[in-house]
């Protein structure tokens, strides 16, 4: 092989190494943005299908809160993809995408079982177990990244990003189930203590509000929880490395 041919082959493989991760990154980014758009559309559609929702106290707030957080998530995703470059950033984003997707799938299964799809499990044991498992996976994502990169902050970022991805998947799935596939019956919602204390008079509308509020709280709180678990796990990774 001639020197020029060797250079051409080397250049080709270098370009492949650069382009493939970028293609995967861009594809995953588009998927997350589509997921956000779908979740926002489902929330708007649920309210449009039941206009009486807007007659209840603070109903617009329940609708606007998750929509605003979805917009912030979309802006953050675009910012992260544009600004985070380099090999270290690629490791953070790859691990976040992996563990965020895994925990998102776990959440989908958990939400489905909560609504009796394909079967129901009574009692809080399943929910508590799943919650702790997901927290542990977010922590492991941070531990793994910190171990590879030798720094705590990339591990925390990985855990937080994992939680964000997980919750986007979970909230979109939760909206689909609670608004369309298996919405709670109004007579069942009427037995909830939250409904009885709320001052609302429409149980069906309260069921919609409950789903919107649950989505909002999960999107806001999950990254905070992940920062704690990821911080502890990342520190443990660095502590373990320093003892070797």
DSSP H helix total and E strand total for the chain: 8, 0
Total tally of structural domains belonging to the chain: 1
User: What distance in Å separates the CA atoms of residue 14 and residue 87, rounded to the nearest whole number?
Assistant: 14
Specify the pLDDT at position 19. 61
Q: In degrees, to the nearest 5, what angle opens at C-alpha 227 toward C-alphas 221 and 230?
A: 135
pLDDT at res. 13: 35
DSSP string, 43-87: HHHHHHH-GGGGGSTTHHHHHHHHHHHHHHHHHHHHHHHHH--SH
Is there a domain that residue 169 lies in?
yes
Helix/strand/coil percent split, the chain, to 5:
85, 0, 15
Domain-embedded: residue 175: yes
Q: What is the mean pLDDT of residues 101-112?
A: 96
State the DSSP H helix or E strand holding residue 125, giving kind and residue range, or none if neither.
Answer: helix 125-149
Establish if 176 belongs to a structural domain.
yes
Q: Is position 101 within any domain?
A: yes
Instruction: Give a yes or no: residue 21 inside a domain.
Output: no
pLDDT at 22 over 80: no
Q: For the segment 219-235, what is each residue's pLDDT rounded down to a tens digit?
A: 999 999 999 999 999 99
Q: What is the pLDDT of residue 11?
A: 44
Q: Is the pLDDT of residue 177 over 60?
A: yes
Query: Is the pTM of the predicted complex or chain greater than 0.75?
Result: yes
Model confidence at 241, pLDDT cuts 50, 70, 90, reads confident
- Does the residue 3 lie in any domain? no
- For residue 49, what are the CA distances in angstroms to 46, 179, 180? 5, 10, 11
The answer as to whether 17 is a domain residue is no
pLDDT of residue 15: 41
pLDDT in tens, 28-77: 999 999 999 999 999 999 999 999 999 999 999 999 999 999 999 999 99
pLDDT at 236 over 60: yes
Is pLDDT above 90 for 197?
yes
Give the domain extent around 188. 31-243
Q: Is 218 within a domain?
A: yes
């Amino acid at each position: 092989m001639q020197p020029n041919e060797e250079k051409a082959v080397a250049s080709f493989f270098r370009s492949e190494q650069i382009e493939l991760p970028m293609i995967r990154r861009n594809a995953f980014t588009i998927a997350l943005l589509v997921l956000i758009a779908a979740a926002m559309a489902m929330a708007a559609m649920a309210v449009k299908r039941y206009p009486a929702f807007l007659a209840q106290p603070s109903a617009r707030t329940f609708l606007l809160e998750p929509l605003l957080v979805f917009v912030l998530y979309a802006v953050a995703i675009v910012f992260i993809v544009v600004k985070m470059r380099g090999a270290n950033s690629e490791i953070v984003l790859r691990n976040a995408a992996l563990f965020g997707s895994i925990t998102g799938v776990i959440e989908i299964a958990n939400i489905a079982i909560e609504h009796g799809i394909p079967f129901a499990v009574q009692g809080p044991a399943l929910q508590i177990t799943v919650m702790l498992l997901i927290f542990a996976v977010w922590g492991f994502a941070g531990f793994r990244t910190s171990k590879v990169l030798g720094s705590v902050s990339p591990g925390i970022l990985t855990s937080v990003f994992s939680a964000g991805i997980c919750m986007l998947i979970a909230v979109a799935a939760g909206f689909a189930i609670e608004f369309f596939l298996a919405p709670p019956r109004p007579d069942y919602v009427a037995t909830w203590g939250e409904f009885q204390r709320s001052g609302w008079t429409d149980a069906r509308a309260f069921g919609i509000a409950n789903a919107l509020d649950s989505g909002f709280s999960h999107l806001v709180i999950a990254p905070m929880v992940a920062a704690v678990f990821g911080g502890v796990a990342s520190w443990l990774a660095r502590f373990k490395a320093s003892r070797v």
